[in-house]
Amino acid sequence: MDTERLYSEYVNTSFVKGIEPVVVDHALGATIHGADGEEYVDLFAGISVVNAGHSNPKIIAAAKAQLERVVHAASYIYHVPLVAQLARRLAQITPGRLQKTFFGNSGAEAVEGAMRLAKAYTGRGEFIALQASFHGRTSATLSVTGNAARKTHGGPYLPGVAFAPAPNPYRCRFCTGCCTLACADAVEDVFKYQTSGDVAAFIAEPVMGEGGIIVPHPGYFRRVKQVLDAHDVLFVADEVQSGFGRTGAMFAIEHYGVEPDIIAMAKGIANGFPLGAFIAPPEITDSFRPGEHLSTVGGNPVACAASLATIEVLHDDRLVERSAELGAWCKSRLEEMARQHEIIGDVRGVGLMIGIELVLDCATKQPAAAEAATVRRLCREQCVLLGVGGQDGNVVRIQPPLVIERAQLERALDVLDDALRSVAETRSVGAS
Ligand SMILES: Cc1ncc(COP(=O)(O)O)c(C=O)c1O
């Protein structure tokens, strides 16, 4: 039986309506080789995961070497050297006083663990999150996710979660023209009107991924942190998607000059090996009492070996800087395209975490979701794979492996340009 048929009969794929008709054979760098012999340019990196490139030889070698030694040894019962080495490395590359790491297996597990730690440390149980946010698909992480479409059939959710407005400059409900950071000030109103004063933490993605690559104003988190400090409330930065060089900094919160109390991470941490983690200063971390938190295969030695190698590759190959440089070039090329395509309402992003919001009308900003899906299909037919997301499904996402060659990216953007032109032509034929 062929793979697509096996999928439809046996695999529970609930996420994408009609999984993409691409059968992956193998992948290298920013290229996915299909079973059909086609070579696809990968602009989505397995949903922003393989930052150091598919099948990176140094990472594969490190994981293979570890496979030969020990695959699993219960890293929370016995001492596993790699776990300690990786934890120290994470303390070195994360901002401020963040020092001690808990390892799990996924982004959702990292965020949920961070929430539990915030509760343990503060002795309080409420959370403030952002509208349009996404934090995972467990019950607790969906509770702090501000997107109804992602929450269907999962409720009722945890009580004690309040949502502040998304800091979305393109669709700001507060300011016309000059930003006054009113969306950050609105966090104070959330404390005042929507909580019982028992808030453990504010949780936010420094750059919002699934919500449509929303980049808050440079002053946003500093202003929010002032509000949080006044209430003695922790700041949990969810860097699951924005971490590990994706935005041209090791962690996106660095762009804001703010030190979070806890960072949750996953995805790019081990370049595709399953690993999630959260890190905090010792006085916060140590509020877990013995026996309170554990993950059986969390801190798996093979994933930790891959993670250590990933961090070395990001450094040695200057991939964080590359993300910043290539991202700036890519964004300016897209801005140029936006001047030619009326359907592009907004181009935004940092580093190689870029969103192109498609709208039916630049004045009303009505989301062009069907058109975004068509753009994705047309690009795929020309062997370019990209993501589509956003609250309304109208944001084209460019988040390639950071190793992508500039020529590859240029070719992919030419394909995107053609796809946007073709969508515009179809619309104008439909309208006449
Ligand atoms: C910001 C953010 N947090 C958490 C998650 C959940 O990660 P995972 O799918 O590894 O559980 C995601 C996944 O897209 C994410 O983007």
Dump pLDDT digits (tens) for 81-106.
Answer: 999 999 999 999 999 999 999 999 99
Pocket test for ligand 1, best of 267, 275, 388, 391 (most atoms within 8 A of CB): 267
> What's residue 15's pLDDT?
62
> What's residue 12's pLDDT?
82
> Separation of 361 CA from ligand 1 center, angstroms?
31
For the CA of 210, the closest atom of ligand 1 is: 16
Q: 400 — phi, psi (to 5°)? A: -75, 170
205 in contact with ligand 1, CB cutoff 6 A: yes
Measured from the Cβ of residue 152, the count of other Cβ atoms closer than 10 Å reads 8
CA distances to 332, 394, 396 from 423, in Å? 22, 13, 14
> Separation of 236 CA from ligand 1 center, angstroms?
14
Rounded Cα distance, 51 and 59, in Å: 12
Instruction: pLDDT tens for the chain, 432 residues: list them.
Output: 688 888 888 888 766 556 788 999 999 999 999 999 999 999 999 999 999 999 999 999 999 999 999 999 988 889 999 999 999 999 999 999 999 999 999 999 999 999 999 999 999 999 999 999 999 999 999 999 999 999 999 999 999 999 999 999 999 999 887 899 999 999 999 999 999 999 999 999 999 999 999 999 999 999 999 999 999 999 999 999 999 999 999 999 999 999 999 999 999 999 999 999 999 999 999 999 988 999 999 999 999 999 999 999 999 999 999 999 999 999 999 999 999 999 999 999 999 999 999 999 999 999 999 999 999 999 999 999 999 999 999 999 999 999 999 999 999 999 999 999 999 888 777 776
| CA atoms 65, 69, 71, 72: torsion sign | negative
Pocket test for ligand 1, best of 240, 263, 295 (most atoms within 8 A of CB): 240
> What's residue 211's pLDDT?
97
Structure tokens at 417: 């340009």
136 in contact with ligand 1, CB cutoff 6 A: yes
Same fold, 3-55+318-431 and 57-316: no
> Separation of 266 CA from ligand 1 center, angstroms?
8
> Separation of 207 CA from ligand 1 center, angstroms?
13
CATH class of domain segment(s) 57-316: alpha beta
> What's residue 261's pLDDT?
98
107 in contact with ligand 1, CB cutoff 6 A: yes
Domain ranges in the chain are 3-55+318-431, 57-316
239 in contact with ligand 1, CB cutoff 6 A: no
Over residues 61-82, the pLDDT tens digits come to 999 999 999 999 988 889 999 9
Structure tokens at 398: 């460019």
> Separation of 109 CA from ligand 1 center, angstroms?
9
For the CA of 239, the closest atom of ligand 1 is: 1
Rounded Cα distance, 224 and 261, in Å: 13
For the CA of 111, the closest atom of ligand 1 is: 4
Q: Which CATH architecture has domain 3-55+318-431?
A: Alpha-Beta Complex (3.90)
135 in contact with ligand 1, CB cutoff 6 A: yes
Label residues 122-136 b or e (16+ Cβ within 10 Å = b): bebbbbbbbbbbbbb
For the CA of 208, the closest atom of ligand 1 is: 1
- DSSP letter for 426, please: H
Pocket test for ligand 1, best of 103, 134, 273 (most atoms within 8 A of CB): 134
210 in contact with ligand 1, CB cutoff 6 A: yes
| Whether this model's pTM surpasses 0.85 | yes
Rounded Cα distance, 51 and 311, in Å: 10
Q: Which residues, 6+ apart, have CB-to-CB distance to 123 below 8 Å?
A: none
> What's residue 18's pLDDT?
63
111 in contact with ligand 1, CB cutoff 6 A: yes
> Separation of 48 CA from ligand 1 center, angstroms?
10
Beginning with the edge strand found earlier in the chain, give each strand of the sheet holding 387-389 in spatial order: 344-350, 353-358, 395-398, 387-389
Rounded Cα distance, 166 and 178, in Å: 17
Q: Which residues, 6+ apart, have CB-to-CB distance to 321 below 8 Å?
A: 248
> What's residue 5's pLDDT?
85
